[in-house]
Amino acid sequence: ATLEAELLAAQLAFPSEVDSTEVLAHVVATAAVNRVNLRQVQAQEPITTEVGNGTYLVLPYEVEVEGELEALASFLVDLEAGPISTLTLDEISIMALPTPTPDAEATVAANTAPTILVDPVLYRVSLELTVFVRQAEPGDTEPTPGGTSISPAERASQLRELLEEARQEDDWERAISILLVLRQIDPADDTLDDQLLEAYLLQAARRFAASQYDQAAADYRAALALDPDNAEAIAALGSMNALTPTATPRSTRTPTPTPSGAWATPSPWPFYMRVRA
C-alpha cells in the first residue's frame, strides 16, 4: 500500500492543469471515436484527497455509456490513456441490457421448437472518473478546478461547432454526446433540452427503421425523460411493445369427443399405447 501511494504521488508530481470543460470534452471525443452512446456525464463538486504526503484537488465525474462490448472496452482504454495524465477510472460496473424474448410457456403450449437465446449484444458501463488537478495549497478552503487554458465559453463555442458538424452528417449519436456535455457547461442555455430531445427522437427513428428495437426503445425512453408527454415517443414505444413476441394462439381445431365406456377409464399410458383387454 505504501509503495502504491509513492508511485501515485510520483505520477502526480506534475498534475494536469486542466479545467472541467477539457475533461468533459475528452470524454465526449473518446465516446464518439469508439462509437459508444454517452448516456450520462455528470460533474460532481471538486474535492480534496490525500496521496502520500500531499493533498490534491480532484475533479470527480459520473459517466455512463452503452454499446457493444468491444467498443466499450476500447472506450475505457482510450479514456485513461488520453492526454490527461492524472485521469483515473474507478467503480466500473457493466451490465447486459435486456432483450425481448419469446414467452417460454407459450412456446411449449404451441408444441414448437424451443428458442435458443443468445447473449445480448449491448451493454451498459457505469464508472467514476477522477482527475487529480493540482496539489492543494494551505489556504485552499473551497477547491476549484485548476487550469485556465481555455474558458468555459470558448469550450462551449468549440462544442457547438462540433455539434453543427454532427448535425450535417446526421450523426445523432455524436450529437447526443455533445449536447449532454453542453448542458453541463452552459446550463443557462434553455434551448439545449429541446435540441437533445430532437436528437434522441431522430436517433431512435433511425434505429427503429434498422430493426434495432432495444436501442431505439432506450432512445425513446430518454426522450420521454425530457418530455414525458411526447406523442412521438409514446406512440413509437407502443408500436414496439406490439412487436414484442406474445403468447402463440392455441389451436382452434375441434377437440376429439370424450370417449366413453372402457376407454373413459383413467390410464397413465398415452392413448397410442393403450389396447383393449
Instruction: Tell me the domain boundaries of the chain.
Output: 1-103+116-136, 152-244
1-103+116-136 and 152-244, same CATH topology: no
pLDDT at 271: 39
Tell me what pLDDT residue 136 has.
58
Percent of the chain predicted with pLDDT > 90 = 12
Structure confidence at residue 273 as a pLDDT band (50, 70, 90): very low
> So what's the pLDDT on residue 42?
82
Q: What is the pLDDT, as a whole number, of residue 199?
A: 92
Task: Give 184's Cβ-side CA count (13 Å radius).
Answer: 25
* DSSP letter, residue 126: E
Cell of 161: 461547432
Find how far residue 161's CA is from the centre of its chain.
25
Kindly give the residue spans of alpha helices, DSSP state H, lying in 58-212.
69-80, 104-109, 152-168, 172-185, 192-209
pLDDT of residue 82 exceeding 60, the answer is yes
Strand partners, 87: 131
What pLDDT is attached to residue 146?
40
- Is residue 86 predicted with pLDDT exceeding 60? yes
Segment 90-149, tens digit of pLDDT: 888 988 877 655 444 444 444 554 444 444 468 889 999 988 876 655 554 443 444 444
Find the helix packing angle between 192-209 and 172-185, rounded to 10°: 160
C-alpha cell at position 120: 445480448
Q: Measuring CA to CA, which residue among 226, 14, 229, 260 is closest to residue 135?
A: 14
Fold entry, domain 152-244: 1.25.40
pLDDT for 19 equals 65
CATH number of the domain at 1-103+116-136, please? 3.30.70.60
User: What is the pTM (predicted TM-score) of this model?
Assistant: 0.53
Residue 229's pLDDT is 92
**Per-residue pLDDT at 230:** 92
